[in-house]
Amino acid sequence: MFVDSASRRDALARLYQQHYPELVRLGLGLTTDRGLAEELAQEAFVRAWRSWWRIRDERSAPAYLRATVVNLARTSLRRRLRERQALRRTPAAGGEDVDASIDLLRALAKLPARKRACIVLRYYVDLSEVDVAQVLGVQVGTVKSQTAKGLRLMEKMLADRPAVVPGPQRYQGGAR
């Protein structure tokens, strides 16, 4: 447990440096709005500062921050409006196919919240199934089933687009 303000400030500064981009990606995947995602990540750090006495070990703080972002996104009344606005103005990163990126965001936005959260946490934030279960407060089996069902739904939505659904690549045979 962190007692003085200086150690709390230093610990939070380290966490910010290490995890802010990840939390923004998480928020972006859940809301499809970059501005809102940044607000959610910032609010998660504000809440961590206020509740620092509850965090027994600095190693548990990233899970606390992720759970906070998920909960803030879940309760945001502005989410649906912002999703629609973000679909119109989301640029593709690093030369990606713009249409594929927009189609992927649209497919994510159409998923139920739990399926979307599972997919974003697994494939965009790159958490293990156990970590996703902790963040969402569900069983690992729920994460597995919700992720699989969400990916199947996205595959149907994206059937006319070649391989834009995130996930493990399977070897198809033939020469590499």
CATH 1.10.10.10 maps onto the chain at 101-166
Q: What is the pLDDT of residue 161?
A: 55
CATH topology of domain 1-90: Rna Polymerase Sigma Factor; Chain: A (1.10.1740)
Q: What is the pLDDT of residue 85?
A: 57
At 43-68, the pLDDT tens digits run: 999 998 888 877 777 788 899 999 99
Q: What is the pLDDT of residue 143?
A: 93
With 0.85 as the threshold, say if the pTM is over it: no
CATH 1.10.1740 maps onto the chain at 1-90
Work out the average pLDDT over 17-35: 92
At 107-161, the pLDDT tens digits run: 888 899 899 999 888 888 888 899 899 989 999 999 999 999 998 888 888 875 5
Q: What is the pLDDT of residue 22?
A: 95
Q: What is the pLDDT of residue 53?
A: 77
CATH topology of domain 101-166: Arc Repressor Mutant, subunit A (1.10.10)
Q: What is the pLDDT of residue 169?
A: 45
- The sign of the CA dihedral 141, 143, 67, 76 is negative
Least reliable range by pLDDT among 25-29, 119-123, 161-165 = 161-165
Q: What is the pLDDT of residue 2?
A: 47
At 67-101, the pLDDT tens digits run: 999 999 887 744 455 445 555 555 544 555 555 67
